[in-house]
Chain A
Amino acid sequence: MGFEGIGASVRRKEDVRFLSGKGNYTDDINRPGQLYAVIKRADRAHAKINSINIAAASAAPGVVKVFVGDDMAADGVGGIPCGWQIHNQDGSPMAEPAHPAIATGKVRHVGDPVAVVIATTKQEARNAAELLEIDYTDLPAVAHLTDAVKPGAVEVHDGVAGNICYDWAIGDKAVIDGVFANAHKVVKLELTNNRLIPNAMEPRVALGDYDTSSGEFTLYTTSQNPHVIRLLMGAFVLHIPENKLRVFAPDVGGGFGSKIYHYAEEAIVTWAAGKLRRPVKWTADRGESFMSDAHGRDHVSTAEMAIDQEGHFLGLRITTLANMGAYLSTFAPAVPTYLYATLLSGVYKTPVIYCNVKAVFTNTVPVDAYRGAGRPEATYLLERLVDVIAYETGIDKVELRRKNFIPADAFPYQTPVALQYDSGDYQTTLRVGLKNADWDGFEARRAEAKKRGKLRGIGISTYVEACGIAPSAVVGSLGARAGLYEVAEIRVHPTGSVTVFTGTHSHGQGHETTLAQLVVDQLGVPFDQVEVVHGDTAKIPFGMGTYGSRSLAVGGSAMVKAMDKVIAKGKKIAAHLMEASVEDIEFKNNTFTVAGTDKSKTLTDISLAAYVPHNYPIEELEPGLDETAFYDPKNFTFPGGCHIAEVEIDPETGVVAMVNFTAVDDVGRVINPMIVEGQVQGGVAQGIGQALMEGCGYDADGQLTTGSFMDYTMPRANDIPNMSVATENTMCTHNPLGSKGCGEVGAIGSPPAVINAVVDALKDYGVRHLDMPATGPKLWSIIQASTPRMAAE
């Protein structure tokens, strides 16, 4: 057993059960007498429900009950709530139309629940669902942003004029217009950020249970944040007091944001279990995941940068349309505002920034945070715009970035868009990135590729993001309806082993390993004597879960605070046992020592004394060694870095091959380098997916055209190159670990690097910009359209 503390690449302890088929996922849980729910979903994007005839379905073999939306409404069930309220420019609140768990009156997107059939087997429930007779009157639908804001567009919700959920802005319009009026040059770029479907490996599952003896409800669910679900569902939807509602998210097979939200199915099965007095389980099939998991991204933006003669950025002016889908998902309104527009300074000292965001309802699946959440959209916009500025001015794209960087000695740096960056060193991550990618050797590689008939390009992205979400008072003032602190309980057992109860949730990130390493480091307890418990509201204190790369920066900091309390109490016990003054007790390597003597007690001596307090300062100190700490971060954390992509395009087919990828990230203190590398690799893979392959499609009628893996292109292992992943870290200055977060950097930094590389590869074809995904046929069309012009030159 070697070094297993902070900085050690300890192998992930959870992987043994995951890789040997012993994981305990929600669908692995079955309760006695369990029934199965199948949800009948709208097969059309927008329609009035005239009637639902449930007679045949209700009489079908095995069917226990069929519920429709009116049944839930009649029982006083509330709509699915939204967790963040944004205000319009005029100060009025955003439009927040009702979101019934099961549709009433109208369906508003393909996949909208219309009824639930509950039967003794899933097969019977499926059979019966086919017997439901739903009489619809089809309504015109609107799926695309630019269509939804056209005058006279169909209204997704009655009374939400122009489909505008909110019209929000940051910055001073008059000031920015003044900057542009006097600028040397303005560079303008119109771009879209393609809509994505998260596709976690494990589909969503919800199992509701009701204990008739205690009156307690339990929801087993695929969630990233069980306490948030308990609060939202208990308080706003089902009106179940929290003391009678347990939410348990056991092993969860990937989330990427899509399992943050409170979904209708959770409310449906929990409510139905109470009605029927039997457990009710719903398991999504893959097709349902495509049409019911919250989607990501989907922006259309116009970006303009005012620059001076030397290429210094003077002002940035942006208008963005952001798709909300048909209903507001839990955190949807925050994504294109406080997780997007506040990042538009990027790594640059742009002095004036203005951004107007209109959030728009459409007849599509709700859109919410997906790995990176707003920050990939900001980074993509900015890093594409910087490359276009280089293209139009002829200034070298690396030089242009360097001359506009926030310098390393400028921290803390107050951006014009509300954030204050605490630390960073963008010149260093850039320098190391260029070196690791052999930037200077690129032209030789391009020439060599040309001999093979390939168009080779290189692209760079220098980025910063904000995570470690978030200071509660700050987000509260911005419209969050929740606090975003984190909690940890450190329970030292009588024999010195430790259980950590964390409010964060691991759904692939390896917390059981990383968080245990913090205990190894601070308390000196061996790795195999530390257990991390998460996911069960019956066990853990009220925590906010995992998203926004917050688990270590916020949850880990709560652990540090709780362990500080353990040590402080341990010192008092040690002082008593060793008849010394508390001030003279030192704690190191699992041992309490009286300073300057050879008198010492191990943590186990102390914990045993704490639980068997025969010789104990019982007048002054409670028994036990079990401490809880809540940690509310003082600021966001600001990981950043430099991503460099290298691609080769086959000009005969337009197909792009990723040939090199280099990431140099600043993630603050690294606990487990292997896990950080894995997180970056995974994020980059998703970023490459967005840049080259993925794109959720809706046709003009709102039908999902990419509703399965036959049509939605997920990146696969052989699409992803071996990548060079390194870190060049500056410490976060305001949390005790110095950690910033690493879960999203890959997905944030990489898409513009890839597209910049594709555009660079096509530089002889007069390409200034192209939208993601850069698919073969798209590039082939560009090459075809350009070839005659080249020939004429």
Chain B
Amino acid sequence: MYDFTYQKPSSLADAVKVLSGDMEAKALAGGQTFIPVLKQRLNKPSTVVDLSKLGLSGITVAGDKIVIGAMTRHADIASNPDIQAKIPGLAHQASLIGDEAVRHRGTMGGSLANNDPAACYPSAILALGGTIKTDRRSIAADDFFQGMFTTALEQGEIITSIELPIPQKSAYEKFRNPASRYAIVGVFVAKHASGVRLAITGAGQGGVFRHTEMEKALSANFSPDAINGIVTPADDLNSDIHASSEYRAHLIGVVSKRAVAKAA
């Protein structure tokens, strides 16, 4: 990696100040993407701002919501009894991210801020209709994800927590890239009182997206058969050496049905 200065502020305001005042400064959450990127010299930050002393970890149940601190590790989400009981799809999803070491370092806030098009969490947050809380505002999941590696976050804006409505049912099904183990197609389905939301990661050229046609069918009939025959066009899907866009389009149908079967 290139040389950089390192700061570990102990207040959110200080962290925001450093990150806002320097376009080349970067925030470090769990570092499970960022540090490999630095090691490969694909990024050259002036300052790395370590967010681990800001007190942003923890999981709390607040009425009909679960609030997860941005620095909460995947392993803690996967093993949290409240999440396992109330949003089992999310606990399961967290248990599938990376490997054991990644899950003990990587954070939900870091993953969301990075918005890797093949990351798992964006599908959960979008399907659950979550809200991303930052140092300055609340952003609805529908507004947060703005394309591959692109979010609504402004320069220097730090995610502090993620607020997730507790759905009636939830499940995540992941079809892994056999090499990287990222999602080639990951489907998170959540059945809310207001209807079903189903979000797909790994497949879309623009990152995570909701499959509205499936949502409509599932809102009427929450069963795998309800989405039989729904064809996803391959046009806007990723194509790489591991999966063509046609294969991904097909997998969206298969994986979605499996997610619904698991949730139903």
- Contacts A287-B40, A780-B250 known; A697 to B241 CB distance under 8 Å? yes
B260 to chain A, nearest CB (A): 14
Given that A287-B40, A775-B178, A780-B247 are contacting pairs, would A711 and B254 also be in contact in the complex, using a CB cutoff of 8 Å? no
| Min C-beta distance of A278 to chain B, whole Å | 24
Q: Is B34 an interface residue (CB 8 A)?
A: no
Q: How far, in whole Å, are A777 and B179 apart by their CA atoms in the complex?
A: 14
- Complex CA gap A62/B36 in Å reads 25
Contact B250 A713 (CB under 8 A): no
Q: Which of A693, A705, A710 is the one whose CB lies under 8 Å from B180?
A: A710
Question: Which residues of A114-171 have CB atoms within 8 Å of chain B's CB atoms?
Answer: 123, 126-127
Is A652 in the interface zone, CB < 8 Å from B? Answer: yes
Question: Contacts A123-B3, A287-B40, A711-B242 given: A653-B180 contact, CB under 8 Å?
Answer: no
Q: Is B61 an interface residue when CB atoms closer than 8 A count as contact?
A: no
B254 x A652 contact (CB < 8 A): yes
Residues of chain A contacted by B251 (CB below 8 angstroms):
653
CA distance A222 to B25 in the complex (A): 39
Question: Could you tell me if A693 and B254 are in contact, using CB atoms closer than 8 angstroms?
Answer: no
The distance from the CB of A656 to the nearest CB of chain B, in whole angstroms, is 10
Kindly identify, within residues 767 to 793 of chain A, every residue whose CB is under 8 Å from any CB belonging to chain B: 775-777, 780-781
Within 8 Å of chain A (Cβ to Cβ): is B79? no
Evaluate contact between B178 and A713: CB separation under 8 angstroms. Answer: yes
Residue pair B179, A711 in contact (C-beta under 8 Å): yes
**CB of B243 within 8 A of chain A?**
yes
B244 touching A777, Cβ below 8 Å: yes
Q: Which residues of B contact A710 (CB under 8 A)?
A: 179-180
How many chain A residues touch B (CB < 8 A): the figure is: 21
**Of the residues A126, A705, A714, A780, contact of B241 by C-beta under 8 Å:** A705
A709 lies within 8 A of chain B by Cβ:
yes
B247 A709 Cβ-Cβ under 8 A: no
Per the bound structure, the CA–CA distance linking A776 and B179 in Å amounts to 12
A530 to chain B, nearest CB (A): 38
Bitwise interface map of B from 41 to 61 toward A, beta carbon under 8 Å scored 1, else 0: 100000000000000000000
Which chain B positions have C-beta within 8 A of A705? 241
Known: A287-B40, A697-B241, A711-B242. A777 touches B247 (CB 8 A): yes
Residues of B contacting A127 with CB < 8 Å? Answer: 2
Q: Are A706 and B241 in contact (CB under 8 A)?
A: yes
Residues of B within 8 A of A713 (CB): 178-179
Which chain B positions have C-beta within 8 A of A775? Answer: 178, 242
A439 located at the interface, meaning its Cβ lies under 8 Å from any Cβ of chain B in the complex? no
A711 nearest in chain B by CB position = B179
User: Chain B's nearest CB lies how many Å from the CB of A43?
Assistant: 14
In Å, the complex CA distance between A775 and B244 comes to: 12
Q: Is the CB of A709 within 8 A of B180?
A: yes
The A-contacting residues of B in range 1-29, CB under 8 angstroms, are 2-3
Please classify the interface of chain B as helix (H, G, I), strand (E, B), loop, or mixed, using the class held by over half of its residues. Answer: loop
Q: A123-B3, A287-B40 are in contact. Are A777 and B178 (CB under 8 A)?
A: no
B254 proximity list for chain A (CB < 8 A): 652-653
A127 to B178, CA, bound (A): 34
| Shortest distance between the CB of A447 and any CB in chain B (Å) | 23
Encode contact with B along A689-703: 1 for CB under 8 Å, 0 otherwise.
000010001000000
Residues of A within 8 Å of B247, CB to CB, are: 776-777, 780-781
Bound-state CA distance A709–B99 (Å) is: 14
Bound CA span A780–B253, Å: 14
Q: Give the distance in Å from the alpha carbon of A775 to the alpha carbon of B254 in the complex.
A: 17
Report the Cα distance A404→B40, complex, angstroms: 55
A287-B40, A652-B254 given as contacts; is B242 within 8 A of A709 (CB)? Answer: no
CB neighbours (8 Å) of B242 from chain A are 711, 775, 777
CA distance A705 to B242 in the complex (A): 11
Contact of A709 among B40, B179, B241, B250 (CB under 8 A): B179
Q: Please state if B241 and A711 are interface contacts (CB–CB under 8 Å).
A: yes
Could you tell me the distance in whole angstroms from the C-beta of B35 to the nearest C-beta in chain A? Answer: 14
Size bin of chain B's contact surface? 10 to 19
Nearest chain B CB to A265's CB is how many angstroms away? Answer: 20
The docked-state distance in angstroms from the alpha carbon of A126 to that of B251 is 42
Q: How far is the CB of A125 from chain B (nearest CB, A)?
A: 13
Min distance, Cβ B81 to any Cβ of chain A, angstroms: 26
| Cβ contact within 8 Å between A714 and B179 | yes
Contact B40 A777 (CB under 8 A): no
* A711 and B250 contact, CB distance less than 8 A: no
Complex CA distance for A697 and B247, rounded to whole angstroms = 19
Contact residues in B for A653 (Cβ distance below 8 Å) = 175, 251, 254
Taking A287-B40, A653-B254 as contacts, is the C-beta distance between A776 and B178 under 8 angstroms?
yes
A22 to B3, CA, bound (A): 30
A706 to B242, CA, bound (A): 10
Q: Is A67 an interface residue (CB 8 A)?
A: no
Q: Roughly how many angstroms separate A652 CA and B41 CA in the complex, as a whole number?
A: 40
Q: Which residues of B contact A697 (CB under 8 A)?
A: 241
Chain B residues within 8 Å of A776, by CB: 178, 247
A127 and B254 alpha carbons, distance in the complex (Å)? 48
Q: Is the CB of B178 within 8 A of A693?
A: yes
**Considering residues B2, B41, B241, B243, which has the most beta carbons from chain A within 10 angstroms of its beta carbon?**
B241
**What mask results when residues 225 to 251 of chain B are scored 1 for a CB within 8 Å of chain A, else 0?**
000000000000000011110010011
Asked whether A712 is an interface residue with its Cβ less than 8 Å from the other chain, the reply is yes
Residues on B with C-beta less than 8 A from A123 are: 3
**What is the CA–CA distance of A780 and B241 in the complex, to the nearest angstrom?**
15
Give the residue name and chain of the A residue nearest to B240 (CB): A711
Q: Mark B144-181, 1 if CB is under 8 A from A, else 0.
A: 00000000000000000000000000000001001110
Q: In the complex, what residue of chain B is closest to A773 when comparing beta carbons?
A: B178
**Per-position binary interface string of chain A over residues 102-123, scored 1 when its CB falls under 8 Å from any chain B CB and 0 otherwise:** 0000000000000000000001
A712 contacts which chain B residues (CB < 8 A)?
179
Shortest CB-to-CB span from A145 to chain B, Å, is 19
Tell me the minimal C-beta distance from B224 to chain A in angstroms: 12
A776→B255 CA distance, assembly (Å): 14
Q: Give A635 to B100 CA distance when docked, in angstroms.
A: 48
Give B149 Cβ to nearest chain A Cβ, in Å.
15
State in angstroms the CA–CA spacing of A777 and B175 once bound together.
Answer: 12
Expressed in whole angstroms, the Cα–Cα distance for A127 and B1 within the complex equals 9
Over the window 174-211 of chain B, the binary record of Cβ atoms lying under 8 Å from chain A Cβ atoms (1 yes, 0 no) is 01001110000000000000000000000000000000
Please report the C-alpha to C-alpha distance between residue A134 and residue B152 in the assembled complex, in whole angstroms: 41
Interchain nearest-CB distance for A411 vs B (Å): 43
Give the complex CA separation of A653 and B254 in angstroms. 8
Minimum CB distance partner of B258 in chain A: A652
Nearest B residue to A693 by beta-carbon distance? B178
Point out the residues of chain A lying under 8 angstroms from B179, CB to CB: 693, 706, 709-714
Bound CA–CA A441/B247 (angstroms): 35
B interface list, Cβ under 8 A from A: 2-3, 40-41, 175, 178-180, 241-244, 247, 250-251, 254
Q: Mind listing 7 A-B residue pairs with CB under 8 Å?
A: A123-B3, A652-B254, A705-B241, A706-B179, A711-B242, A775-B242, A776-B247
With A652-B254, A710-B179 given, name 16 new contacts (CB 8 A).
Answer: A123-B3, A126-B41, A287-B40, A653-B251, A693-B179, A706-B179, A709-B180, A711-B179, A711-B180, A711-B242, A775-B178, A776-B178, A777-B242, A777-B243, A780-B247, A780-B250
**Shortest beta-carbon contacts, A-B, top 6:** A713-B179, A710-B180, A713-B178, A777-B247, A652-B254, A711-B179
